[in-house]
Amino acid sequence: MIRRSGRPTATPWRRLAGATLAVAGALVLSACDYVVPGDDSSPTPVATGAWLAVATKVEASAAGDLHVDLAIRNETGSWSAMKIAPTGSVTLRTGDGKTATCPTAFVGTGGTTLAPGFQARGYTAGTKAKPTVQPLYVECPGAAPAPGSKLTIAYTYVSGDFNYYSPSSPLSATLEVDLDKVAADLKYPVAEPVAGVVEKAGDKIVAINKADLTLTSVTRTADGLKLAWQTNNPTAYPTYVHIGTPPVIGSDGIIYGLYESPHLADTPITPAGLSATWTTAVAVPKDVTGLYVLVQVESKQQKNFTSQAIDITDK
C-alpha cells in the first residue's frame, strides 16, 4: 500500500514515460498601473515527474459493463493540472491480450491546479448555476472484471505557474492502471507532504507588486464555506491582486469549486500604503472535513499566478 511519508513503495501506482506536446500560447497586451514586466515567451515545459493513477474499485456496472473508479496523484514535483481528450484516450487490455476502447472516461482535475503530493478522486463539473460532483471513473462496454486486465490512459498536463498571456505548453504522457491492484484505503488529499506547498490560515503569501495576501477567516455556511481575504500594499502605487474564486479539496478527495481562470473574478483595488478586504465562497457538503484551499495568487507580473495550498483542516 502507500506510506504516509516518504516515497511510495510496492503500490499499484504506475507511470509511463511521456513526450512533449507543443501548443503555442497567445500573447495579449494589457495596460495596468505599476506592473512588474515579464518575459513574453511561453515557459519551457519540464517533465520532472508525471501523474499517477490507481483503481479504487473494479466492478460490473448496472448495465453489466466494466466499471473502474480511479484516483490520481500529482507526482510532477510542481503544481499541475491534467486532463484527457473527450474520446479515444482509454484502452483496456485483458489478460489474454485483447484490447478495446473505453469511451466513457472522466479522468482529470477539472481544470484546477493540484499541489504536488496531493491526490484526488473527483472534481466539480457542470455550471455555476448547477455545479455537480464528477467522480473519476472509466467504463468499458462489453467487458467484465477479469484477472490480468489493465487500463492505458493517454493524458496531457501543465505544471508550474499559470501565465494567462503566455500559457505553458502541455506535456503528453500515459497512465497504466493495473486492475488486479485495487487501493481501497487511500488518504486524501495529502498522499506525500512536500515542503513549501502548504501554508496556514493567517500566513502572509507574497503577491504581485510587493503586496501580500492573507486568508483571515473561514466560516461554515449553510451550503459551504465563506473565505475572507486581505491584501496589504506597502508601496506608493495602487495594485490589484487577483486570486479568482479558490476551490478546496478535503478528506473525501473531491475538488469542490467549479474551475475558472483566476483573472476573471472581480477583486478590489488595494490602495497605496493600505489594505483591501473581500470574501469568496465555495459550496462544500457539511460532512466534508480535512480541507485545504487551492489558491492561485497573482505574483511576479500581471496575470501570472503562483499556486499555494492553505491548511483549513480545523474548519
Question: What is the chain's mean pLDDT, rounded?
Answer: 87
CB 248 within 8 A of CB 225: yes
- pLDDT by residue (tens digit) across 139-148? 999 999 999 9
Comparing 11 with 291, the larger pLDDT belongs to 291
- Asked whether the domain spanning 198-311 has the same topology as the one spanning 15-178, the reply is yes
- The average pLDDT across 227-251 equals 97
Going through 130-223 in order, the beta strands assigned E by DSSP cover 131-135, 137-140, 150-159, 162-163, 171-178, 198-200, 204-206, 212-220
Q: Please state which CATH class domain 15-178 belongs to.
A: mainly beta
pLDDT of residue 14: 54
Taking the model in full, what pTM does it have?
0.85
pLDDT at 184 over 90: no
Residue ranges per domain, the chain? 15-178, 198-311
SS3 sequence of 109-146: CCCCCECCCEEECEEEEECCCCEEEEECEEEECCCCCC
Give the N- to C-terminal CA distance of the chain in Å, as an integer: 29
At 13 the pLDDT is: 60
* Averaged pLDDT for residues 267-272: 96
Q: In the predicted model, what is the mean pLDDT of residues 14-26?
A: 38
Q: What are phi and psi of 81, to 5 degrees?
A: -120, 145
Q: Which percentage of the chain shows pLDDT scores above 70?
A: 84
The pLDDT of residue 12 is: 63
Please give the CATH topology (third level) of the domain spanning 198-311.
Immunoglobulin-like (2.60.40)
pLDDT tens column, 72-106: 999 999 999 999 998 899 999 999 999 999 999 99
Q: What is the average pLDDT across 106-122?
A: 98
> For 137, phi and psi rounded to 5 degrees?
-160, 165
- What average pLDDT does the segment 120-147 reach? 96
